[in-house]
Amino acid sequence: MTRSKRLLPIHKITEHEERQSAQRLTKVHQTLMAEKSRLAELVAYRQSYLEEFKSLQKTDIGIEKLTHMQQFIARLNETIQAQQNIIQRCASELERQRQHWRERHLRT
């Protein structure tokens, strides 16, 4: 048996590992994009809510309604911060998976 035939199973294994790594990289990238999209939606929602809040401040809606709106805006801010943290973790995972894929790619 020639050397190239003996190494063929090893080559197939490394190619399979690279494909799996590329698939994981793609999945993490898609997750990151989805999380960024969620963040954009939250920020847009907060902006529209802030605009409504500012316009209602000029009317006579009552302190209770304004307080409720302020509390809701504060919760939105917390949610946005949490989403930013999720994005940071996803970005770190993406970089880790990218490095893992590079290592596998160089082996093939």
Is 3 within a domain?
no
Is 2 within a domain?
no
Is 26 within a domain?
yes
**pLDDT tens for each residue of the chain, 108 residues long:** 676 666 667 778 888 889 999 999 999 999 999 999 999 999 999 999 999 999 988 888 888 999 999 999 999 999 999 999 999 999 999 999 999 999 988 877
In this prediction the pTM is 0.83
- Whole domain around residue 75: which residue ranges? 10-107
Overall number of domains in the chain? 1
The DSSP result for the chain, as a single string, is --HHHHHHHHHHHHHHHHHHHHHHHHHHHHHHHHHHHHHHHHHHHHHHHHHHHHHHHTTT--HHHHHHHHHHHHHHHHHHHHHHHHHHHHHHHHHHHHHHHHHHHHH-
Is 5 within a domain?
no
Is 4 within a domain?
no
Is 91 within a domain?
yes
